[in-house]
Amino acid sequence: MIVRITSGITGFDELTVPGDDLGFALGGIPENTITLLYGPVGVGKSLFCHSFTYEGLSTDEPCLYLTTDQNFSTIYHNMEDLGFSLQEYMEGNMLQVIDASSNGEKMEDSPTHQSSHVKNPTDILVKVSRGINSVSQNNPRFRGVVDSITAILESNDEMLIMRVLKSYILRVKEAGGTAIITHTQGSADPRTEIIIKSMADNIIKVDGETLVIESMKGLGQKKAPYEITEEGLILGKEE
């Protein structure tokens, strides 16, 4: 039996209910898996991650958030705009952020918020590993976000990043976490992109109009139209 966790994205859980059941199974993202979310720039991948994170936080699942494009300040305000308030979760040590972006002003380092840099993957891995230990200490489940792997690939030897990604994936799974990794398709070597797909358990493609679940544990392929709204992504009925 495959256990799923609620995604936080409107319409997604309904789309991912496994078809052959007696109606007891719930949809969502399979627990303890890695999901690759890929597509062009600006189609809502970060929004997806925001909703996924907040869904976890509001159901007592801590989150380890690695951001490489948006700095944390931006994320904080974007999530506020969506109606998600992060303040209490940060105070409660439920949200751990690693800000590896290279733009804007950085917030001060604190136990739940650290900075790193995409050009220093070893440092990212060290901080992420510590972060995983920290969030999983008192929690049997947690959520992880890597938004995005693209920025890290662009600044380093791609194969080195694949190794770092593998380490990350192993640690998340070992600690009972469920993670989403975003990527801008076509920006890395085709071989690297195949490797990323190979390492992930589930693959979701978004293009601005349609969300396609290309592969998901316990599910066949699924497709649905979606919109980006002020409340985040909203999926329509399955096509």
Partner 1 sequence: MSMVETGIPGLDELLSLNDGEGFPQNTTTLVYGPPKVGKSIFSYQFAYHGLDLKEPCLYITTDDGIKQLTQNMMDFGWFLQGFIDEELLYVIDSISSLSGVRVENTATYASSKINDPTDLMVKVGLGTRFVFKKSNEFRSVFDSLTTPFVFNPEPMVVRFLKTYLRRLKEAGATVLVNYTEGVASPGTERILKSIVDNVIMLDGSYMTFKSSYDLMGTAKYDITDQGIVLGEGEIL
Partner 2 sequence: MKKTHIPKLDDFLGGGIPEGSSVLFYADPGVECEAFGYQTLQSRLEEGDHGFIFTNVTEPSSILYEFEKFGWDLEKEMEDGQAFFVDGSSYFIGVPVMGKYSIEDYSQIEKVVHTAITDVPEGVGVINNLSALIDYLDPGETVGIIKKWNKAARENKTILLYIFTEWDYETDLIDEIKDSMDCLVNLSTIEERVIIGQGFMVTGATWTTPSSSMVLFNILRPGGVKIFIPKILVTGPYNAGKSSFVKNIAPNSVSVDKMALGQVPTTVAMDIGHMEHKGFVADVFGTPGQERFDLILDLLSKEAVGAFILVDSTDPHTFPRAKEMIKKCKAEAIPKVIVANKQDLPNSLTPDEIRKAMRIDSSIPIIPVSILKNEGIDEAIDALLEILYR
Residues 167-186 that bind partner 2 (CB under 8 A): 167
- Of 2, 25, 125, 234, which lies in the binding site for partner 2, with binding defined by CB under 8 A? 125
The one-letter code for the residue type at 149 is I
Lateral strand order in the sheet of 34-38: 113-115, 95-99, 63-67, 142-147, 177-183, 34-38, 202-206, 210-215, 222-229, 232-235
Choosing among partner 1, partner 2, none, which partner's interface includes residue 126 (Cβ < 5 to 8 Å by kind)?
A: partner 2
Interhelix angle for 158-174 vs 121-136, to 10°?
Answer: 10
- Of 8, 121, 131, 232, which lies in the binding site for partner 2, with binding defined by CB under 8 A? 121
Choosing among partner 2, partner 1, none, which partner's interface includes residue 121 (Cβ < 5 to 8 Å by kind)?
A: partner 2
Tally of residues, the chain: 239
Give the bridge partners for 225, in sequence order: 210
Q: Which of 106, 72, 71 is nearest to 90 (CA)?
A: 72
Q: Is 132 in the site for partner 2 (CB under 8 A)?
A: no
- Of 77, 163, 191, 223, which lies in the binding site for partner 2, with binding defined by CB under 8 A? 163
3-state secondary structure of 69: coil
Residues 172-231 that bind partner 1 (CB under 8 A): 173-174, 190-191, 194-195, 197-199, 203, 214-215, 217-218
Site residues for partner 1 per CB under 8 A? 2, 20, 32, 159, 162-163, 166-167, 170-171, 173-174, 190-191, 194-195, 197-199, 203, 214-215, 217-218
